[in-house]
Structure 1
Amino acid sequence: MTTSTATQRWALGLSAAASFMVILDMLVVATALSTIQRDLGASLEDLEWTVNAYTLSFACLILTGAALGDRLGRRAVFAAGLALFSLASVGCALAPSVGTLIAARTVQGAGAALVMPLALALLNAAFPPERRGWALGVYGGVTGLAATVGPVIGGAVTEGLAWQWIFWINVPIGLLAIPLLLARTPESRGARAPLDLAGLPLSGVAALGLVWALIRGNAAGWTAAQTLVPLAAGVLAGLAFLWRERVAAAPMLPLRLFRSRSFTGGNLVIFFVNAALTGAIFFTAQCFQILYHHGAFVAGLWLLPLGVAPLLAGPRAGALADRFGERSLIVAGTLCLVAGMAWTGLAADAGGSYLALVVPLTLSGLGIALSVPAATRAVVSRVAPPEMAKAGGTFSTLRQLGGAFGVAILGAVFTGAGGSFDAGFRAALLVAAALSVCAAVATGLLRGRPRIAPATAPDARREPAPDPAR
């Protein structure tokens, strides 16, 4: 196997570390909510917004972050995103009131939106096509682990120190990563073109309306005005954005990318996989506390089998995608998710043993390890270098929309089944399995093993020409 260069190793390490921090902060706060409520006198709605404010600004600004990186320099905007994220983390830790905390979480989400698409763009620019699967496997394993250990770290830090420390730990990571990023990775840009000033607000409004409706639908009611109005606004803005991108001279999101079956299929796969995963983690963490009567820290520990497989198998799975193509890996991974999610829902029992859940949780983790790096590779591996940030922004946006969609759909099913963690949890996890089936169906758009030039060729680092059929 080809040895990675020092620049490649730094790009991989810094991209994975920054993305780990961003994904971690989506979930780390969940197990600290009761303590935050007590210390800051927050209401239940306030607690919801400490989570939702981050998700909303993150999802709304990802495409904007990608566009700014193409224009101003991906490394520079990536570093600015880390600085903004770290500064907002200080604001969260020092927040004297819940209103200040929500405001700081909003700024944190904006910083995350600058980090995620550009981390993917820098990573893909650093590695040639024949090595991207391995690199994305490592990256996917680390980010998958972040989603799983978030509740563990949140519970441990809150119980052992104080809830403020779940935000303080971001600061040294960010401050260390910024100078290393500037010193160890090369700068890259997209095509020299003016910013799409009409597309920027349209993309933000579209994402804001859709995510707002998904977040508030279960609490406010799906037929309530505060759900239907933002949903309609999001759909209309989304249609206007697509029209704008079709006629713009320098679009934020070139719609011709969707002519590629791999690009379209990979984005559909990550939407449904993240919907199943985020919804399942949200309800499983609560199930371990309510149905099995454990504290936040133990509940987080019980989720660890979900993260072990992505960490251990991710790099190998990515290398297999390099060798055999993405489709076979995604099919295997999504089928593991179907079986693992359904098995978990059926095996959960108030009087049962945790041992009955270890195998299905591990099986779901294996599904994540196989499908996420391969889906990432399907989206970015055939995109020309100037459009990597745009491809990464699209992928990250659909990933966040999928997560909000999964929590909303599983929440509606849970409530419809009675809202108890007996029948309700089982129904929710079966829906997560059904969402995984949708991801498996989306693999029908993918081709088999790609043909990539060998690494020994003189032009091995040259990107293959885009092929709409791939």
Structure 2
Amino acid sequence: MSSRSIPSATLRRRAAIASVLFAMAAAVLDASSVNIALPSIAGALCVEPSSVAWVMIAYQGALAAGLLPLAAIGERFGYRPTFVAGAGLFALCAAGSSLAPDFPSLIAFRVVQGAGAAAIMALGIALLRQTVAEKDFGLAISWNAMTVALCSAAGPTIGASLFGLGSWRFVFAASVLLAGIALLTASSLPSRRSVSKEIDRVGLLAYAGIVPAFIIAVGLARQSGPAAAIMLASGGTGLWLLIRRDARRHTPFLPLPLFRSRTFTRSVLASVLCFIAMSVALLMLPFALHDRLGISARDIALIMTPWPIAVLLTTPITTRLLERVRPALLCAAGALVLACGFAVLAAAPPKWGAAMHILGVILCGIGFGLFQTPNNRTLFLSVPVDRAASAGGIQGTARLAGQVTGALTASILLSADAVKLAAPLAFGIAALAALASAAISWSNDR
């Protein structure tokens, strides 16, 4: 009996891990592959090129707005049902996006699809924590990191391949397939529930309305400065009022009590700074390569490809190092290597050709591969198991906040200066952000 029960339990655990990773892959692949089809969508649905960006803004806005609310719903009603509902919505709306007859319908599907992705992102690692033993949790996080890196790297290629089948509508096929596989294996996910708690409906609805204001402000920044400023001020005021309200409540909607842990707070800050650095550099790098080397989009993609590949190769090594090296030291070392990569990109002279830039790209990939897994492990292990969903929501929010801030910074630099001046400045800002992340990570070892 024992010999049969062990393989059965192992298979169930592997199926549960596969469900989470396939769902994560679907959410990440969608974000990195749909960009390829934007020009074609604009032409097919008769919208201005400046307006078609809302295909991504709608998705990212709903994703950002849904992370903490869906984490709270998961803690109230259970991780598995909330995760499965989110994956189902994601798959259904990805299919709906591919069949959308007009632009408003497409945007509506993208909003709901983003909400489904928020459930996946908020609860995925919480489910992994329930699935594996605590000693294997670092390994589970590394699997998630490798999945994200691989899909980020392969996203544009997969998107282009699907687009090559004849229509932009095929680009959503990969999301439907991956989310469908996640749903097929979802019955193996653990059904344990955390301590049920009442949902603060007012806080939930307020937060879901406040966060999109920041995303919309970024979308409007280059079209209408005054409108963007109004949206930014509205979001900032709303967030300040919500924080003040929750600070006086015994059971706040915002997971403010988690920030009483210095380790958790430092891990979140280090993550925000790291993603600011990454976002600034990744957005500026194609412009810098084109300006400095005068190369085609295909060659730019080839030079940038070692970045996610380096992350993919470094992550398993980092997982093994966690058995011997303290996580805070690995985080600090990774952020320092990342800063070195940005410094190389800032100083790379055009006469040195692609080699110097490739070196910088590889260093950035290695640095992020060293940083990500130990930082996530520290973040999640510093909170109680029954608050893992809230930690996942904060982790996702930190990532998006860093990405949006970095993208806005790069956009401002590009609009203010020529690429020749903006690129070194952007890489310098990225290096400083990575150094600050290293310092914060190092302080976690004290």
* Cα distance change on mapping 1:205 and 1:438 into 2, 3 Å: farther
How much does 1:97 deviate? 2.8
C-alpha distance in 1, partners of 2:165/2:431? 35
Counterpart residue identity of residue 12, structure 1: I
The equivalent of 2:197 in structure 1 is 193
Q: Is residue 211–residue 401 contact of structure 1 (8 Å, CA) maintained in 2? A: no
Alignment of structure 1 residues 86-101 onto 2, 5 Å: 86-101=91-106
Aligned counterpart, 1:82: 87
- Partner SS state of residue 195, structure 1: coil
Please list the CA deviations of residues 347-392 of structure 1 after superposition, one character each: whole Å capped at 9, or x if unmatched.
374x763333222111101111111111111110121111110111
1:291–1:40: structure 2 CA closer, same or farther, 3 Å change rule?
farther
Q: CA 1:338 to 1:147, structure 2 compared with 1: closer, same or farther past 3 Å?
A: same
Letter in 1 for 2:193: R
* Equivalence map 1:409-424=2 (5 Å): 409-418=409-418, 420=419, 422-424=420-422
- Percent identical: 27
The residue type paired with residue 389 of structure 2 is A
CA shift at 1:150, angstroms? 2.5
Answer whether contact 2:59 2:114 (CA < 8 A) is retained: yes
| Alpha-carbon offset, residue 55 of structure 1 | 0.9
Which residue does 2:3 correspond to in 1?
none
Q: Could you tell me how far apart the structure 2 residues matched to 1:107 and 1:298 are?
A: 36
2-side partners of 1:66 and 1:316: how far apart?
Answer: 31
Q: Is the 8 A contact 1:134 1:318 kept in 2?
A: yes
Cα distance 1:392–1:112, how it changes in 2: closer, same or farther (>3 A)? same
- Secondary structure at the counterpart of residue 253 of structure 1: coil
Shift of 1:405: 0.7
Match of 1:372 in 2: 372
Residue matched to 1:388:
388
Q: 1:391 to 1:28 in 2, by over 3 A?
A: same
Question: Is 1:414–1:428's contact at 8 Å kept on the other side of the alignment?
Answer: no
Matched, 1:155 2:160: yes
* Alignment match, 1:123: 128
1:284 alignment partner in structure 2: 285
Counterparts of 2:37 and 2:296, CA distance in 1: 11
SS of the residue 1:169 aligns to: helix
Instruction: String of CA shifts for 1:207-257, please: whole Å, max 9, x gaps.
Output: 222333334334433xx2x12222222222222322333343433333221
> Paired residue for 1:26?
31
The verdict on how the C-alpha distance between 1:323 and 1:250 changes in structure 2, with shifts beyond 3 A counting, is farther
Say if 2:329 and 2:445, in contact at 8 Å, map to a contact too.
no
What residue identity is the alignment partner of 1:446?
Answer: N
* Contact 2:17 2:128 survives alignment (8 Å): yes
Who is 1:433 aligned against? 431
Aligned to 1:403: 403
Shift of 1:64: 0.9
Whole-angstrom CA distance in 2 between matches of 1:355 and 1:142: 28
Q: How does 1:337-376 map to 2 (within 5 A)?
A: 337-347=338-348, 349=350, 353-376=353-376
- 1:46-80 deviations in whole A, cap 9, x for unaligned? 12211211111110111011111111221111111
Instruction: Tell me the distance in 2 between the aligned counterparts of 1:254 and 1:42.
Output: 40
Match of 1:51 among 56, 70, 80: 56
Q: Residues 160-211 of structure 1, C-alpha deviation per residue, up to 9 Å, x if partnerless?
A: 65322221111122122112012x2211323211111121022223322233
Residue identity matched to 1:317: T
If the length of structure 1 is used for normalisation, what is the TM-score? 0.86
| 8 Å contact kept, 2:327–2:375 | yes
Equivalent residues of 2:333, 2:367 under 8 A apart? yes
Q: In structure 2, what is the equivalent of residue 454 of structure 1?
A: none
- Superposition deviation, residue 417 in structure 1: 1.9
Please say if residues 39 and 49 of structure 2, whose CA atoms lie closer than 8 Å, have aligned partners that are also in contact. no
Moved more, 52-61 or 205-214: 205-214
1:211: which partner in 2?
215
**1:252 correspondence with 2:253:** yes
Tell me the TM-score normalized by structure 2.
0.90
Change (3 A) 1:16 1:315: farther
Matched, 1:229 2:234: no
Gaps of 5+ in 2: 1-6
Number of residue equivalences: 439
Measured after TM superposition, the shift of residue 415 of structure 1 is 1.9
The aligned counterpart of 2:185 is 180
Deviation at 1:11, TM superposition (A): 3.4
* Residues 86/286 of structure 1: CA separation in 2 closer, same or farther (3 Å cut): farther
State the partner residue of 1:459. Answer: none
Contact 1:149 1:304 in 2 (8 A): no
| C-alpha distance in structure 2 between counterparts of 1:65 and 1:194, whole Å | 13
Please identify runs of 4+ aligned residues in structure 1 that moved more than 6 A: none
Q: Is the deviation greater in 210-219 or in 81-90?
A: 210-219
Following TM superposition, by how much is the alpha carbon of 1:272 offset from its aligned partner in structure 2, in angstroms?
Answer: 1.5
Q: Match for 1:259: what amino acid?
A: R
Summarize the Cα distance change of 1:242–1:276 in structure 2 as closer, same or farther, 3 Å threshold.
same
Give the AA of the match of 1:262. Answer: T
Q: Is it true that 1:166 corresponds to 2:171 in the alignment?
A: yes
State the SS of the aligned residue for 2:168. Answer: coil
| Contact 1:314–1:370, Cα closer than 8 Å, also in 2 | yes
Deviation string 1:94-127 (CA, Å, 9 cap, x unpaired) is 2233333222222221111111011011011223
Aligned-partner residue type, residue 192 of structure 1 = S
Q: What is aligned with 1:321?
A: 322
